[in-house]
Structure 1
Amino acid sequence: MFLPQRTPLLAILTALIFTLTTTSLPHHSQERKPYPKTTRSSDSPFDISTLTVPLTNGTATLPSPSGTLKAITLGLGTQNYTCNETTPSPVQVGAKAVLFDLSPFLPWLSPFLPLVPQKAMATDPEVIKGAADILGNHIFNALGVPCFHLGKEGDLAAKKVPGAELDMENAVPWLKLVDAGGSEGVDQVYRVNTVGGKPAKTCAQAGDIEVPYAALYYFYE
């Protein structure tokens, strides 16, 4: 299981949050003010249902979700591919990622959510591991099924929705995935605001390839 050691939740996302706010707000608003105290999602008065998943990349649109938004996570990991003598281009064989819980930060992070994956890719992973709780992980099982293990929030064995894919020029596609059978607690997930994860178009040599990526995952029940 691709799951680093769990670390305590700190008061803020330190460098990540500071970078988001100072690069996204007008100059006159860039005052360094104390950040709100972080609380666990179960203790927070913030209503996550007020947020909506982004569905369009500007040229196409994903199908709308059904059900209730249950969790928003930052996924950091790799998209995994292989090349051999019979494959002119890399073939995807899986993915693995840590899913960081963004719920405690949503009261002030929500306006900047689309920027989080890009900023996370440019941030020392140890900063993120030290600042945010790990909700779970994302892997492909032995049958090649994408699985999301979310601890107390549930488990999702997923499959693609036909046509629910938005191609991105320099990153893996945005996707809507739904329950493939046997899931608990959640039955839909959206992968959006993707950064990285896309391999070269052609194979330079035989072997396995891991391409770092980041994305937001919106889980619904």
Structure 2
Amino acid sequence: MGKPLDDTGLDTIFRTARTYNGYTDQPVTEADIRQIYDLLKMGPTSANQQPARFVWCLSDDAKNRLADCAGGNNPDKIRAAPAAVVIGMDEEFHEHLPWLFPHADAKSWFEGNLAMRKDHAFRNSSLQGAYFIIAARAIGLDTGPMSGFDADAVNKAFFADTPNVKTNFISTLGYGDPSTIFDRSPRPEFDKFNRIA
């Protein structure tokens, strides 16, 4: 059983954490992204599917290619960020289940059923994308997740050699600059969107 986080930990991950539009000049390193991945991979996915496929854009070339796929203000945000990330989803994740989930013949559950695989890949890679945000915050970094992009263009730019992998969403990554954020938007009270049955 885990120990509850103190208020500082809860603030870092949830209460005072924000989505950033810009970052300081402090770089994001390969060691940082490896640490983030080693944390996020521990989050639960159905039958340990682990369908997320991450492309970590640290070079200017990679960030420019990603920025070219984005719309609105997002290209500028991507180019200016120390790093950006493509969170993809492998629609053939089931091929890895014999070693990821050896307790049962889980691969057979998904063979011949692409629609089911797409559903599971999207759901579980979305979870892993959320774990990415939490893991980044936990080690002192900030993120700027976004959906304003051309998914087909991102797929072509980053997953052309693996057509079974499709883009879920993208994000910037770095040490957040507080001057780039808006006032926090409302968060609903419990009774607004919850009920106890």
TM-score, scaled to structure 1: 0.24
Which has more strand, going by share of residues? 1
Q: Relative contact order (C-alpha < 8 Å, sep 6+): which is higher?
A: 2
Which has more helix, going by share of residues? 2
TM-score, scaled to structure 2: 0.26
